[in-house]
Structure 1
Amino acid sequence: MVLFYGLNKGAGVERVGSMIANGLSEVGHEIILASLGPCDTPFFPLNEDIKIISLSGSSRVKLGHTPNAIYKIRKLLKTERADIIMAVDTKSIPYTLPATLGLKVKHIGWEHFNFDPNEGISRSSIVRHLAARYCDSVVTLTERDKQYWLKNTRHKSQIIAIANPCPFPIQEYIEENKKIVLAVGRLHREKGFDLLLEAWLQVTAMMPEWRLKIVGEGEERAKLTELIEANQITESVELVGATDNVGHYYREAELFCLSSRAEGFGMVLTEALAFGLPIVSFDCGPGPGEVLNGTGSILVPKNDVGELASALIGLMKNDEQRKTISLRGKEKVEIYQPANIISEWLDLLKSFE
């Protein structure tokens, strides 16, 4: 059984969770998707033989309803005779841990965010320590994050790193010269598009023929639009909005930029690599460094707008460097293809037998 907070949104956790559920279903595992929130219209496609069950109706379970959520999860585990429960996002551990007490059910906590050893006492840190001690396994997205868990928790669980799968196969190289920099993500402060626009002021002054496209929608659209208009860069910047064909924008781009203030993994990086895009990224968590290692793409210090602009300009001026990075990136992204990632999940599941 795979437990989500909801299935109707098009966020990264739902996307990768749906991919793993589909992959495990395709190799013969019986998959039940249980949702603490809305799941009547799943955003991402799911195999027909996957059973979807709502635990809370039309609204997300609140903390005040924790006993009811625990009861429903426990009842479902018994009714469906589940062997394993996978908590997609360790935030749901306060529900799943007590729900599995006394049951012969293996428990996986799947962490999608960075472990911050300096966080201090908070709800998230308490939950992580509980997961490390009482889950049968904790899955992190990077090796570096795995080491944080091992060094900073009193763990009894099996802590392993399994990266997110890349949603796209490796693309054939099409040599075009469209001079487009692409960024993809929710228009949210965490994604740092305001920092990217600040850097773009320096970039467009030096390389006026290049354009920036930002694909995604969110609460900061009005703020970002105001920044674009106030700085008179409307001719070189486009807020594309949400799309169901992000592949089109990867295909037409020549560079990719990740300007996030924090990233647990950064699936957009593997997507960009699959399309052969050289990348400039802030070093904003374990994910970018691990994904881009060995590709030739460029990491710059977190939130350093000047370095971000400088790295973009440097790659824009160097056609040969972009071609070299493109080839190395495609080689690296092979390890993130779904078949390889599903194989790692299967190894974990077999370890419980």
Structure 2
Amino acid sequence: MKVRYLLLHAYGMGGTVRTVLGQAGALARLGHEVEVVSVVRRRDEPHFPFEPRLRVSTLVDQRDGIAADSTARKAWRRVRGKIVPLGEFAADYFTERVERSVIDYVAGVRGGVLVTTRPALSLIAARRGSRRVVRVAQEHMPLSAYREPVRAQILRHYARLDAIAVLTAASRDEYRTALPATPVVRIPNAVHTADTTAATQNNPVVIAAGRLVHQKGFDLLIPAFAQVSARHPEWKLRIYGTGPKHPQLTTLIRDHGLQTKTRLMGRTQNLDAKLAGASVFALSSRFEGLPMVMIEAMTHALPVVAFDCPTGPADVLTDGRDGLIITPGDVDAFAAALDRLMSDREERLRMGAAAARTAAGYAVEVVMPMWEDFFGELLSGEKITDSYWP
């Protein structure tokens, strides 16, 4: 079976990059012919290592800079128009040169399955892609999370695709309602669970990870931690990731007097070790697709405190069993949940053990056969199974 994954920047960091490379690598290890096509390349070395059996190619190499593309972008928007709507989160990547390269690629590809991994790429595949390849939009965010221009284009053009794959039950229901004639399946991303080290619950650390952007809600997590810090003077908050909100979050930490308790740790090449050395995982996001870093934390037997944001946490967690689910945006309730777990090691151990059992259901050996069956049915022309995930 031949599968191609079209990824915006395979050499970059982020949850989508990590999970797509993981999925592609797992298929390659199973003996399939798998290629990752990176639309752009801005780094010499990938942030996440490539599986040796993967073929990786690039459409537009931007390691020498993007000044020419930036100049061309203005004319592309003003004169020629574009497929990628301005509301797409990565719209600025799609200069005339970049968009044309993607159009040429999807128009020329033949045979197998082409998986596009964000709306910009899926819209190009829907409107300009070859019908001699099976086209699958892999959606990592709920439909409601996208801005109105993006949602409008999705509703207008996704029906031309062969199928849509989503990560959560809520996303599946959204897309099935919006596009009733298009097959929509729910298959979660797989998480690596082998050889993970369980947290001992001896280190007084609350850990969080993600891009430092509005979506991740670290501006809510910091004041929540501030509420309980005085009661638990030995506890620290560690936030891993980089992004544009770093200055604002640094100021917020200072305003709450948490300079010795809370640190923005930047990026790490060994998040597993950091998770294993913590005792509570905090997910403060305003919205998610399927929060894979949360599930990764659960493989290390970490209990979770999470806002019940759309979508993801409630698809995975059972409140009171493997984590605590909090009304979105309720900083006081989030603080109370942190306080509950920080105060009780035995409860952390109990919930952490349950979290590890839950995470085992997302293991590669559980999830990848679903992707194989799904792609096989598409290629054979069989009727798509109504649900791969319960």
* TM-score exceeds 0.5: yes
Superposed counterparts of 1:117-266, under 5 Å: 122-130=148-156, 132-151=158-177, 153-169=178-194, 171-173=196-198, 175-266=200-291
Contact 2:223 2:256 in 1 (8 A): no
Correspondence for 2:335 = 309
Correspondence for 1:86 = 115
CA deviation profile, 1:274-327 (whole Å, cap 9, x unmatched): 000111011111201111136431010111100000011011222222121111
Partner amino acid, structure 2, of 1:109: A
Moved more, 47-56 or 220-229: 47-56
Compared CA separation, residues 6 and 173, structure 1 to 2 (3 A): closer
Correspondence for 1:113 = 141
- Equivalent position to 1:57, from 54, 61, 84: 61
Contact 1:91 1:127 in 2 (8 A): no
Query: 2-side partners of 1:170 and 1:266: how far apart?
Result: 21
SS of aligned partner of 1:286: coil
- Equivalent position to 1:298, from 305, 318, 324: 324
Moved more, 267-276 or 36-45: 36-45
Partner amino acid, structure 2, of 1:70: I
Query: 1-side partners of 2:55 and 2:287: how far apart?
Result: 34
Aligned length: 345
CA shift at 1:126, angstroms?
2.6
Compared CA separation, residues 240 and 168, structure 1 to 2 (3 A): farther
SS of aligned partner of 1:217: coil
Partner amino acid, structure 2, of 1:243: T
Correspondence for 1:31 = 34
Partner amino acid, structure 2, of 1:340: V
Structure 1: runs of 5+ lacking an equivalent? none
Compared CA separation, residues 212 and 65, structure 1 to 2 (3 A): closer
SS of aligned partner of 1:240: strand
SS of aligned partner of 1:56: strand
Verify: 1:44 aligned to 2:48, yes or no: yes
CA RMSD of aligned residues (A): 2.1
- Equivalent position to 2:125, from 96, 103, 107: 96
Partner amino acid, structure 2, of 1:114: P
Query: 1-side partners of 2:367 and 2:290: how far apart?
Result: 14
Correspondence for 1:344 = 370
CA deviation profile, 1:73-127 (whole Å, cap 9, x unmatched): 322x1xxx432111112321222123334x321110000111219x7x8332133
CA shift at 1:131, angstroms?
5.4
Superposed counterparts of 1:65-80, under 5 Å: 66-75=99-108, 77=109
Correspondence for 1:16 = 19
Q: TM-score, structure 2 length as denominator?
A: 0.83
Compared CA separation, residues 259 and 90, structure 1 to 2 (3 A): same
Compared CA separation, residues 170 and 301, structure 1 to 2 (3 A): farther
SS of aligned partner of 2:265: strand
Query: 1-side partners of 2:356 and 2:195: how far apart?
Result: 7
- Equivalent position to 2:357, from 331, 347, 352: 331
Contact 2:201 2:349 in 1 (8 A): no
Query: 2-side partners of 1:42 and 1:127: how far apart?
Result: 31
Query: 2-side partners of 1:282 and 1:272: how far apart?
Result: 16
Query: 1-side partners of 2:200 and 2:129: how far apart?
Result: 54
Structure 2: runs of 5+ lacking an equivalent? 67-92, 381-390
CA shift at 1:15, angstroms?
0.7
Compared CA separation, residues 174 and 183, structure 1 to 2 (3 A): closer
Moved more, 55-64 or 137-146: 55-64
Compared CA separation, residues 38 and 172, structure 1 to 2 (3 A): closer
Partner amino acid, structure 2, of 1:227: L
Compared CA separation, residues 87 and 245, structure 1 to 2 (3 A): same
Query: 1-side partners of 2:240 and 2:339: how far apart?
Result: 21
Query: 2-side partners of 1:328 and 1:65: how far apart?
Result: 46
Compared CA separation, residues 297 and 187, structure 1 to 2 (3 A): same
Q: TM-score, structure 1 length as denominator?
A: 0.91
CA shift at 1:68, angstroms?
4.8
SS of aligned partner of 2:60: coil
Contact 2:126 2:158 in 1 (8 A): no
- Equivalent position to 2:302, from 254, 274, 277: 277
